[in-house]
Amino acid sequence: MNNFLPWSIMNGIFPTTQLNILKGNYTKFLFTFISVVTFLLASNSYAQFRDNQFGKNRVQYKKMDWRYVSTPNFDVYFYDGGYDVAKLAAQYAESDFDRITDMVGFSPYNKTKILIYNSIIDLQQSNIGVYHQGFDEGGQTNFVRSEIELAFTGNKAQFKEELALAISDILIFEMMYGGSLKEIFQSSYLLNLPEWFMAGAARYIAHGWDVDMDDYMRDVMGRGKVKKITNIEGEDAKLIGQAVWNYIAEEYGKSNIANVLNLTRIVRNEEQSIQQTLGISFKSFLKGWRSYYEKQYNAIAETHTIPKDEELFKKNKKNYIYNQVKISPNGKYLAYTQNNKGKYKVKIYDLVKEKEKTVLKGGYKLINQRVDEEMPLVAWRDKAELGIFGERNGKIYLWFYEINKKGNRRREKRHFKSFSNIKNFDISVDGNYLAMVAEWRGKNNLYYYDYRNRKLTQLTNDPYDYLTPKFLPGREKSIVFSSNRPNDKVEVIKEQPDVKDISENFNVFIYNFKNPNLLQRVSNTLSKDLNPTPINKNEVLYLSDQRGISHLYKYDLVDSISTQLTNYTTSIKEYDFKKKDLFMIMLKNADEQLVRVNDFNTNKSTFTGKTYRQQVLDLRNLQAMKKKRQAEERARQIAEEKERKRLEQEARLEEIRKSAQVIADSVNSVVDSLFSGQSIPDSLVEKKNMATDVLGDSAIISTPDENLIQDSTKKEEVNTDDYQFDTFTKNKENDAVTDTTKKSIIDTDNYQFDTFSQGKRKSFLDKYRSKLAVKQEENTQLKISKSRPYEKMFAADNFLTSIRIDPQRGWGLLFEVAMTDVLENHKINAGIFFVTNLNNSNLFAEYEFLKTRLDYRARFERRNLEIPSETFTQKYHLNIFEGSVSYPFNITTRVSFEPFFATSRYTNTDILNLSVPDEVINYTGFNAEFIYDNSVITGVNMIHGTRMKARFEKYIGLGKIAANKGFSQFVVDFRNYQRIHKSIIFATRLSFGQFMGKAKKNYLLGGMDNWLFNKYDEETQNASNNPLNTNPGDNNSDLLFVEFVTSMRGFQYNKLFGNNFMVFNGELRVPLIKYFYKGTISSKFFRNLQFVGFTDIGSAWTGISPFNRENALNTEVIDGRDPEGFSFIARVKNFKNPFLLGYGVGVRSTLLGYYTKFDVAWGIEDNRQLDPLFYFTLGHDF
């Protein structure tokens, strides 16, 4: 069961106050029922107690010293060389945060952590998710962490889209499975959404109505058969879901996206949510959705074509991803790459002989990891030599392969350690130079590499994106490429531009070494013009989506004319053209196909109209541009009006200043007349009064223009109680003005009148504007903290509460908890299993360090076993201190070495043996293990691939008492899961084990793991040599090491025992309802329902082999020796078949979050069929 608890309330789970939310009789009953069932339906998820885990590895090739920066809503983590990308990610995330949360209608509980990797190669070394590759068991609760892992591939526009998708995805997930404890339990048990719903919503919120989704829907409608959306999985479900949400946004308004999502969280059914929100039945909604895209396809189909079946160069039957396609210069060979979930191949096809061979292969199928679909990269060096950029062991290499009659030979390889990513490359005609687009420290630039002299020259140094450089034939000193740069000037730009300045549109440019400071612009459109390919020195082909579909165009460098050459219904993703042969990668029949067009005429042009999507987007762009121009015009008018009023005010002030100066001069004349004894003319007295009136009219000078204040975007409150008007400037050094309340003598000799400041004074409005501008700048500028070192803080990752049915102890409670740091480089596990008390229990605690290539583990385990009877009680204890070091060769294969020290203790509580001390035996030794796992999980209990484990254990007794107690064990477990058809799987397992040494232990064959209501075989239990026998005073510490071998259906526990075992299991797993029913399967029980037919064959024996009659099963030794009488020893041989066979049928499904299995099996022993046995067990696989 998957119980997803939001990280924000993790610390509040256990207080009883959280349980107070579960109110109401129905809720109490439901909670009680689920709690009881949780303890009654236990899983066999005790892998920490029993080392039977498989799983892929994460291999660390480099050391990463992590740091982080913080913003209001995100913590962005990075390591060496990633600081600039981390800041860019922080800007992108914050700039898009409000838009995403508004569309979703939900804000996260806590900050989201974003982990930035410098490349996909580095991302694949991450340990995050390494423990969540298998099935979640019943009773297991996984905490939801708001964490995002993202790799920077060198393309900022692509990086922004990927970041928006990751934020949208985790936000929707937290929205659906978060909230209070009551909502968490209800969502965990009752919320079951189809894949298209959440994945499609996240994709639409991030990408909107993009070209990829539009192409996909035209391909779907072109096939004329639309699958029911509830049955679509994987990438198809994401694109279909995106189309559904786009339909809602276009037809019913974007506001309904948040409405549907929030209502789904409440009603827990996507169909009801859509019906209630949109006011239309779900059936009618889907009908309208199909009609919406059918009309668009029909309009396009009239003027566009679909590649003919005979033009399909290779049919893509296995859903491969094609990335690169390159024709050799002589047109004889075709090189192309294909990728299957991380496992890639580079193939060369002889177009003349029609033969194909693989020159390079590598990679592994990845689970829950990002696949680098762009690597490897290929380019021809000459007519018979192919250059390949690829990755090995975390490093980027360039290989050259020679193509000859004997096959292919790798001539040389070169390591490019300076770059994190290489996006594209091309090789000059003479084979001596490379044009590359590579990324270093967050900058993706154009480089020129002299292969012979190993000299690298950087041609550009700016923050823009560059793609697909190609040498121009006949112009070897010119390179044509695609870029989203805004201008033609080549200059050094060290600072990252504002996120708004990073354009999503790409155009074609030419770099000329003769004029390196200025580029030649080939295209200038508001679209993505990509992959320019020169066909001669005057003509360049390129792809452009200016009409809504990525078509092939030709540009004439002489005439500066661009013409359209293709008119397919879906976009061309990659292409190459040589000798009138056009090869293209494009979508057809739901898969990427490799299409070949012979005798393609580049002089024949065509013309198509724009798609409906492009028309809508163009209209919106025009409306946005119109609004922008209107806003700019309005801002210009406001600015002009403000400037006009400012000039008028300054003119008025200037007039006042001049008048005041004239009056001041007159006053000075009056003063001079007084001291000289002359009379004052009446005219001067009137001017003095005028001066008093003028200088006293301070409102004329200091009052701000109310109209100017209203023009401002924000208003500042004015403190009218403490408002101070602007005053004229005084000379502070010789200030003769004194307090009017005090009597003072005027220094008439040094007295100076107040004058106006000759400089420009700041009015109230100027101060307001200045303050407002500062506030606006603070609001628009993102606050990113200084980088801080990463701190290891442990937090709960998951915990398990369940019941385990142990064959020796019976029913018991099982508790496990796991804690990790953010990077999951450190992990702490602890658990305990006990029956009624700790005398019958297992417990363990371990710490794992996974940061480096070698994985380390320290573990303590204690096993306690109490054997009670009417007359005595025996107690057995085993303590194991173990260290471990593992070396992963790759993601599928690893070896481990585990030295240990162990102590066993036997205590006899028999009243007759109280004085006998405990028997203690010390062991030392080691375990060595090899694990291979390339399996892929496609659903609940649905696996395909291969798994294998081989393990050797060596126990060495210490001291004289334990000299003969040493033993060894070798076990092999091989499993294969073969897909028969669609989701029908034939699963097989072959396992073998052998105990060796002086104190061999026993395997007990029969039954199934975690078998409720289990039974032991009565005949074996009553045998004198039964390994489980206990007698008073006898130390049977072997009980601590005994191994139960399952599955052997048709028989009870301990049907056969011995020092060796061998078992074969075969199951045909058929998800019957999911396989035949094409409608919506909302019930987890029916969706995960499997019908199984099985057969088990096995044996356990002591001796050479089960085929040798000297084994203990076929030879019985009767010891009749009597010292006082007649003695004899008899060896009785029988012809008993040493192998058991069982067969039967069963069903499996999810019941209340637990995967349950019910089997009925008939056993065959010595060609005799036994009565059927019924098995009710829990857990996945065998």
Question: pLDDT tens digit string along 466-491?
Answer: 999 999 887 668 899 999 888 888 88
pLDDT, mean of residues 634-655: 86
Task: State whether 487 and 603 are in the same domain.
Answer: yes
Residue 844 within any structural domain of the chain: no
Summarised one tens digit per residue, pLDDT across range 903-948 is 999 887 766 666 677 888 999 999 999 999 888 887 788 888 899 9
Summarised one tens digit per residue, pLDDT across range 1050-1082 is 999 999 999 999 999 999 999 888 787 766 666
- Residues 511-516: contacts with CB within 8 Å, 24+ apart? 511/446, 511/459, 511/460, 511/478, 511/479, 511/480, 511/481, 512/475, 512/477, 512/478, 513/477, 513/478, 514/477, 516/459, 516/490
Task: State whether 155 and 235 are in the same domain.
Answer: no
Q: Which of 274, 303, 332 is the last residue of a domain?
A: 303
Q: Are 928 and 949 in contact (CB under 8 A)?
A: no
- Of 376-390, 885-899, 904-918, 1021-1035, which range is least confident? 904-918
The owner of tokens 């997930």 is 173
d(CA 779, CA 788): 24
Q: Are 922 and 958 in contact (CB under 8 A)?
A: yes
Task: State whether 289 and 370 are in the same domain.
Answer: no
Structure tokens, 1072: 């019957």
Q: Does position 374 have pLDDT exceeding 50, yes or no?
A: yes
**DSSP H/E element including 1139:** none
Q: Is residue 376 reached through a cis peptide bond, with omega within 30 degrees of 0 on the bond before it?
A: yes
- 804 against 258, higher pLDDT: 258
Q: Binning pLDDT at 50, 70 and 90, where does residue 322 land?
A: confident
Residue 1083 within any structural domain of the chain: yes
d(CA 1050, CA 1056): 13
| The pLDDT value given to residue 1109 | 67
Q: Are 592 and 322 in contact (CB under 8 A)?
A: yes
Q: Does position 712 have pLDDT exceeding 60, yes or no?
A: no
Summarised one tens digit per residue, pLDDT across range 344-368 is 889 999 888 888 888 888 888 777 7
| The pLDDT value given to residue 134 | 56
The amino acid at residue 839 is N
The amino acid at residue 108 is P
Entry pTM: 0.77
- Of 882-891, 896-905, 969-978, 1067-1076, which range is least confident? 1067-1076
Burial class (CB in 10 A: 0-12, 13-18, 19+), 81: middle
SS3 for 429-461 is CCCCEEEEEEEECCEEEEEEEECCCCEEEECCC
Residue 862 within any structural domain of the chain: yes
| The pLDDT value given to residue 1104 | 80
- 448 against 702, higher pLDDT: 448
Q: Which of 278, 303, 328 is the last residue of a domain?
A: 303
Residue 222 within any structural domain of the chain: yes
Torsion of CA 228, 229, 235, 238, to 10 degrees: 160
Question: CB count, 10 Å around CB of 412?
Answer: 9
The owner of tokens 């968490």 is 184
Rounded to the nearest 5 degrees, what angle is found at the Cα of 42, between the Cα atoms of 38 and 47?
A: 130
d(CA 1096, CA 1161): 10
d(CA 661, CA 671): 15
d(CA 547, CA 527): 9
Q: Does position 1179 have pLDDT exceeding 50, yes or no?
A: yes
pLDDT, mean of residues 966-989: 92
**How much of the chain, in percent, has pLDDT values that exceed 90?**
24
The amino acid at residue 256 is N
Q: Does position 139 have pLDDT exceeding 60, yes or no?
A: no
Question: Pairing between strand 140-144 and 3-6?
Answer: parallel
Q: Does position 78 have pLDDT exceeding 90, yes or no?
A: yes
Q: Does position 754 have pLDDT exceeding 50, yes or no?
A: no
The SS3 assignment for 782 reads: coil
* Sheet arrangement for strand 1043-1045: 1043-1045, 1003-1005, 1056-1058
Q: For residue 610, give the CATH number of its domain.
A: 2.120.10.30
Question: CB count, 10 Å around CB of 599?
Answer: 8
| The pLDDT value given to residue 911 | 64
**DSSP H/E element including 731:** none
| The pLDDT value given to residue 501 | 73
| The pLDDT value given to residue 769 | 47
d(CA 77, CA 87): 10
Q: Does position 740 have pLDDT exceeding 50, yes or no?
A: no
| The pLDDT value given to residue 189 | 53
- Of 276-290, 402-416, 710-724, which range is least confident? 710-724
Task: State whether 290 and 321 are in the same domain.
Answer: no
| The pLDDT value given to residue 671 | 64
Task: State whether 567 and 611 are in the same domain.
Answer: yes
Q: Taking the mean position of all CA atoms in its chain, how far away is CA 209?
A: 22
Summarised one tens digit per residue, pLDDT across range 533-559 is 999 888 899 999 989 899 999 998 888
Residue 636 within any structural domain of the chain: no
Sequential DSSP letters for 469-529:
EEEETTEEEEEEEEE--SSSB-----SPPPGGGS-S-BEEEEEETTSTTBPEE----SSBE
Structure tokens, 400: 């050259």
Split into its structural domains, the chain has a count of 4
Contacts of 926 by beta carbon, 8 Å cutoff, 6+ apart: 897, 898, 899, 900, 953, 954
pLDDT, mean of residues 140-162: 80
- 339 against 23, higher pLDDT: 339
Task: State whether 285 and 139 are in the same domain.
Answer: no
Contacts of 505 by beta carbon, 8 Å cutoff, 6+ apart: 484, 525, 526, 527, 528
Contacts of 1097 by beta carbon, 8 Å cutoff, 6+ apart: 1063, 1064, 1139, 1140, 1141, 1142
d(CA 398, CA 392): 10
d(CA 1072, CA 983): 9
Q: Binning pLDDT at 50, 70 and 90, where does residue 665 land?
A: confident
Residue 614 within any structural domain of the chain: yes
Q: Are 166 and 147 in contact (CB under 8 A)?
A: no
| The pLDDT value given to residue 1128 | 61
Nearest alpha-carbon partner for 593 in 620, 614, 567, 574: 574
pLDDT, mean of residues 1092-1121: 78
Task: State whether 257 and 328 are in the same domain.
Answer: no
Task: State whether 252 and 350 are in the same domain.
Answer: no
d(CA 268, CA 190): 7
- 739 against 15, higher pLDDT: 739
Q: Does position 856 have pLDDT exceeding 90, yes or no?
A: yes
pLDDT, mean of residues 634-645: 86
| The pLDDT value given to residue 814 | 83
Q: Binning pLDDT at 50, 70 and 90, where does residue 717 land?
A: very low
Identify any residues that bridge with 1161 across adjacent strands, giving them in sequence order. 1144, 1173
d(CA 921, CA 1107): 36
The amino acid at residue 453 is N
Nearest alpha-carbon partner for 499 in 83, 75, 91, 208: 91
Sequential DSSP letters for 540-566:
EEEEE-TTSS-EEEEEETTTTEEEE--
d(CA 250, CA 289): 11
Task: State whether 178 and 199 are in the same domain.
Answer: no
Q: Does position 702 have pLDDT exceeding 60, yes or no?
A: no
The SS3 assignment for 1143 reads: strand
Q: Binning pLDDT at 50, 70 and 90, where does residue 1038 land?
A: confident
Contacts of 856 by beta carbon, 8 Å cutoff, 6+ apart: 848, 849, 850, 883, 884, 885, 886
pLDDT, mean of residues 834-852: 86
d(CA 786, CA 67): 10
The SS3 assignment for 1041 reads: coil
Residue 487 within any structural domain of the chain: yes
Structure tokens, 242: 């995106």
Burial class (CB in 10 A: 0-12, 13-18, 19+), 1137: middle
d(CA 411, CA 400): 6
pLDDT, mean of residues 515-543: 89
Q: Does position 705 have pLDDT exceeding 60, yes or no?
A: no
Identify any residues that bridge with 1163 across adjacent strands, giving them in sequence order. 1142
Q: Is residue 917 reached through a cis peptide bond, with omega within 30 degrees of 0 on the bond before it?
A: no
Task: State whether 378 and 458 are in the same domain.
Answer: yes
Q: Are 388 and 401 in contact (CB under 8 A)?
A: yes
Q: Are 469 and 446 in contact (CB under 8 A)?
A: yes
Give the phi and the psi of residue 690 in degrees, each rounded to 5: -65, -40
Domain hosting 420: range is 310-619
| The pLDDT value given to residue 1099 | 93
Rounded to the nearest 5 degrees, what angle is found at the Cα of 969, between the Cα atoms of 967 and 975?
A: 175
Burial class (CB in 10 A: 0-12, 13-18, 19+), 1064: middle
- 282 against 309, higher pLDDT: 282
Q: Which of 564, 594, 619 is the last residue of a domain?
A: 619
Whole-angstrom CA distances from 113 to 90, 579, 652, 785 are 11, 52, 59, 14
- Of 43-57, 332-346, 364-378, which range is least confident? 43-57
* Average pLDDT over the chain, rounded to an integer: 79
Residue 943 within any structural domain of the chain: yes
Identify any residues that bridge with 425 across adjacent strands, giving them in sequence order. 436
Task: State whether 299 and 314 are in the same domain.
Answer: no
Q: Does position 737 have pLDDT exceeding 50, yes or no?
A: no
Q: Does position 777 have pLDDT exceeding 90, yes or no?
A: no
d(CA 430, CA 268): 65
- 17 against 984, higher pLDDT: 984
d(CA 575, CA 579): 14
Q: For residue 899, give the CATH number of its domain.
A: 2.40.160
Task: State whether 283 and 151 are in the same domain.
Answer: no
- 497 against 357, higher pLDDT: 357
Q: Are 640 and 603 in contact (CB under 8 A)?
A: no
Whole-angstrom CA distances from 368 to 113, 252, 938 are 18, 35, 12
